[in-house]
Amino acid sequence: MFCYKVGKFYEFYEMDAEIGHKELDWKITLSGVGKCRQLNSFVVYSRLVITFLLVYLLKIKESCYYLLLLVGISESGIDDAVQNLVARGYKVGRVEQLETSVLEEPTL
């Protein structure tokens, strides 16, 4: 499993999100381009139906045709979450973006 740091949260995507939902009872969010919706576990098995509803009935733009499952946890809770997942037999990696001193300098 991989979690990706996004701002102050770590996010798990797709199959890793399903595992987080199943093992740790995290809420699954369905995310498209610029759109997020919290869902119950039924959505995991009904993505095509949900895509139809979001695109056609709720008038979400075509750029949202491909939807990602994700779960997120705050950076303050990630250590406990990783320990729980490892205790259940999963291997977990963290992906973080590191800035260099060049990127930290203000641009004119």
| Domain spanning 2-104: CATH 1.10.1740 | no
Determine the 3-state secondary structure of 35 from DSSP: strand
Map out the domains of the chain as residue ranges.
2-104
55 in Cβ contact with 65 (< 8 Å): yes
**CA distances (Å), origin 31, targets 34, 37, 38, 51, 73:** 8, 7, 9, 11, 15
Query: 40-88 pLDDT, tens per residue?
Result: 445 444 555 666 666 566 665 554 455 678 899 999 999 999 999 999 9
Query: 2-34 pLDDT, tens per residue?
Result: 999 988 999 998 889 989 999 999 988 877 644
The pLDDT score that the predictor gives to residue 97 is 78
Q: Which residues pair with 54 in a beta bridge?
A: none
Give the CA radius of gyration of the chain: 16
The pLDDT score that the predictor gives to residue 84 is 96
2 in Cβ contact with 95 (< 8 Å): yes
